[in-house]
Chain A
Amino acid sequence: MRRLKVFRSLVKDSLDTITHGSRKYHLWMALLTFIMLVGMYCYSIQLEQGLSATGMTDRVSWGLYISNFTFLVGVAAAAVMLVMPTYVLKDVDFKQAVLIGEGLAVAALIMCLAFVVADMGGPSVLWHMIPGIGVFNFPNSMLTWDVLVLNGYLFINITIPFYILFKHYQGKEAKSNVYVPGAFLSVFWAVGIHLVTAFLYQGLQARPFWNNALLGPRFLASAFAAGPALIILVLAIIRTFTAFKIEDKTIKKIAMVVTVAAQINLIMLVSELFKEFYAPTHHSESAYYLFFGLHGKDALLPWIWTAIPLNVLATVLLTFHKLRNNFKVLFFACFILFVAIWIEKGFGLIVPGFIPGPYGKIAEYTPTLIEIGVTLGIWALGAFVFTILAKTAIGIEIGKLRYKN
């Protein structure tokens, strides 16, 4: 009974906090709401017309949605980079960051699920996928694995922070023997979600560009670069706009994580490029198309040739201690790294997997405005969810939100 009362009060208090804030906060939320509405409008058009409202065709049958999905799985997985040292190794520096990281994971997962639903041809029959009522092709289909691990991860990342915040809200200490096992589990789980998502593509013998043993590990490396990079940027924003204290030390430690991951990612990229271009085979055509264009078709060139220099530049900047410890440079590097990896996972990975087609046909893909609208809407949804979560969490952590008897 008491728990229920506390919970009710928590919900009321958090509703209170998220509806009150500075002018800037309201403007931010209004903007997000507007973008979400535009996205919903675009989605309604897509529902009406069918997926022909997007740029996808029989030749390139996955596009912007699945690209963003893949990228965001990585962002969600990266929350673990902060969970591990805090809960398991008792490294205090990360403690502040970890709630933010988990909030980010929840927001990213919600975006992932939204992107998958947006990509479905028949959202009204999605119940066919629910185990028990529908038919769940487990364990044969990697997609069912993905559904399981993503939802499981979402569950873990909601319950752990919720437990901690719930305790702090009542002014109590959270018991470590309750949440540490959960944190341990989420560490393995995070690696799992990204590996399984990579297997989704890696397991297709039909697409030589994906059917490559390095895909999974490379997913992990790029995720552990892009995710914490985003966390650094978010922490920087939170630091300037709220009373939540985040020490320089914390950010520097996360920057270290980003650096190592970005370096490993680059090494793997070199290895991939070597394999594709040193002794090119029939299977290297997708890579050729991506980097140089094939038969005069070169829609992806601007994307990849933006991504690669940004990636290299960011990694170089991060590698030098002097530069990395200068926060202006660090934030810039994190930003360009994030953009570079987003491009790499989308236009650099999903789209070229379909080009050239099974019989060498080169049909290019350009997203339509509707598709872009829906995509932006989902990103706004993610930002919205995250803002709400973070605002409540910060309120509790700095002691503004407390249970009053």
Chain B
Amino acid sequence: MSSKSKKWFSLNLGKKDKHSENGCGCGKTSGGCGSHDLTIGEETKKDGFDQVFDVKMSRRTAFKQLTASLAIGAGAISTSCSMISGDETKEQAQIDWEEQFKGNYKLMTDEEKKATVDRLVRSYQLRTGKTLNMSSKNAEPDVLFGYAFNISKCQGYMDCVTACVEENNQDRNSQMQYIRIHEMKDGKGFNFNEADDNYYHEVPAEGHFYMGTQCFHCDNPPCVEVCPVQATWREDDGLVVVDYDWCVGCRYCMAACPYDGRRFNWSKPEVPEAEVNKNQHYLGNRMRKKGVMEKCTFCVQRSRAGKNPACVEACPTGARIFGNLLDPNSTIRWVLENKKVFRLKEDLGTEPKFWYFMD
């Protein structure tokens, strides 16, 4: 966000307006020379996100007033209907009303975030009689999440895909999957055109290698720029997230993503009640509705709680590495500094935070 003037090939690790394009003179963008640490570690101030936040103050107040007045209206309606409806129905109606007219999560204060999360939890309780645990935890300072994928290790087992679907409550009917594993022929290089991302046979198949893709959480994400209502944005810790309740479903972001990172709910998503993962985050795996966009969030409900994403944990070969790019002792930093890493379609200037490497 802070690299508005220089979009090209400057790995903007989040927090550094001061950092010039080749700050260390080594020419590397992925922090391999050591002198990157300084600039990355030192600067703890918030970036452009905060500025956007501040500009929107007046609008945020407008939201509050709007929702407040609507809430009063809703209250009036539900009181007048009290003869025919029970307390719970009334409460549900009230919640539905407030949810329909709430503002954009990105612009909410922490209390407002908490309030909407509470409403959603209560609503779930009223509907199913079960409780769930939903978080509205914000990004921590000094954290910037990144991911690395070891092509030599991946055997195409797709355990990550299964784990992801279960963790993130993805629609079972349409078999939505955030991760795609591309099976490529040895000797053809990274030839996506001839790769198969929909195979049904025993793996590892002779003469093939495997490569996974998902949302790369670009540091300069084109999907965020194009959204007409700012329903998708880059969080302070680098996660690119969607507010499912604010998205209008225009699918412009999908057209703008060069990495096939986004998935749309073409029908009402369904997850059998017994399989619902009840440990949720507002920006992550909470239940979606029909007609909205969703995508990989690096399992925000896990990663902000200090855990690895489900795919990393599920991978039997250890091909997936996740961590904090700003922590010089993290595994991901070790990989970036000691392996020959590369990223896909770097020429587009999207600065993905997802690196590939080989042993």
Q: Could you list which residues of chain A lie within 8 angstroms of chain B, going by C-beta atoms? A: 49-52, 56-58, 61-62, 116, 119-122, 124-126, 128-129, 132-137, 140-144, 147, 200-201, 203-207, 285, 353-354, 356-361
A interface footprint on B186-213 (CB within 8 Å = 1, 0 otherwise)? 0000001111010000000000000001
Main secondary structure of the interface of B (DSSP, over half): loop
Q: Is the CB of B222 within 8 A of A205?
A: yes
Q: Which of A116, A124, A360 has most chain B Cβ within 10 Å?
A: A360
Q: Is the CB of B227 within 8 A of A137?
A: yes
Q: Is the CB of B225 within 8 A of A141?
A: yes
Q: Is the CB of B263 within 8 A of A135?
A: no
Q: Which of B59, B174, B247, B249 has most chain A Cβ within 10 Å?
A: B249
Q: Is the CB of A147 within 8 A of B222?
A: no
Known A-B contacts A128-B229, A141-B227; A205 and B197 likewise in contact (beta carbons under 8 Å): no
Q: Is the CB of B230 within 8 A of A137?
A: yes
| Closest chain B residue, CB of each to CB of A137 | B230
| B276 partner residues in chain A, CB cutoff 8 A | none
The complex places the Cα of A354 from the Cα of B257 at a distance, in Å, of 11
The complex places the Cα of A62 from the Cα of B255 at a distance, in Å, of 8
B6 in contact (CB, < 8 A): no
The complex places the Cα of A200 from the Cα of B267 at a distance, in Å, of 26
| B104 partner residues in chain A, CB cutoff 8 A | 128, 134-135
| B103 partner residues in chain A, CB cutoff 8 A | 135
B254 in contact (CB, < 8 A): yes
| A57 partner residues in chain B, CB cutoff 8 A | 266
Known A-B contacts A50-B268, A57-B266, A359-B197; A121 and B250 likewise in contact (beta carbons under 8 Å): yes
Known A-B contacts A58-B264, A129-B228, A133-B66; A143 and B252 likewise in contact (beta carbons under 8 Å): yes
| B245 partner residues in chain A, CB cutoff 8 A | 125
Q: Is the CB of B193 within 8 A of A143?
A: no
CB distance from A106 to the nearest CB of B (A): 24
Q: Is the CB of A51 within 8 A of B260?
A: no
| Closest chain A residue, CB of each to CB of B247 | A122
CB distance from A68 to the nearest CB of B (A): 15
User: 12 more A-B contacts (CB under 8 A) besides A204-B255, A205-B350, A354-B255?
Assistant: A50-B266, A57-B266, A121-B249, A122-B247, A135-B56, A135-B107, A143-B226, A201-B255, A204-B222, A205-B258, A206-B348, A358-B257
Q: Is the CB of A359 within 8 A of B195?
A: yes
CB distance from B46 to the nearest CB of A (A): 20
CB distance from B358 to the nearest CB of A (A): 19
B349 in contact (CB, < 8 A): yes
User: Which one, A56, A121, A143, A207, contacts B247 given CB within 8 A?
Assistant: A121
B259 in contact (CB, < 8 A): yes
| A203 partner residues in chain B, CB cutoff 8 A | 226
The complex places the Cα of A141 from the Cα of B253 at a distance, in Å, of 10
Q: Is the CB of B249 within 8 A of A140?
A: no
The complex places the Cα of A192 from the Cα of B213 at a distance, in Å, of 38
CB distance from A55 to the nearest CB of B (A): 10
Shortest beta-carbon contacts, A-B, top 10: A121-B249, A121-B291, A206-B258, A360-B193, A52-B266, A143-B228, A52-B267, A50-B290, A359-B192, A50-B267
Q: Which of A142, A200, A285, A359 has most chain B Cβ within 10 Å?
A: A359
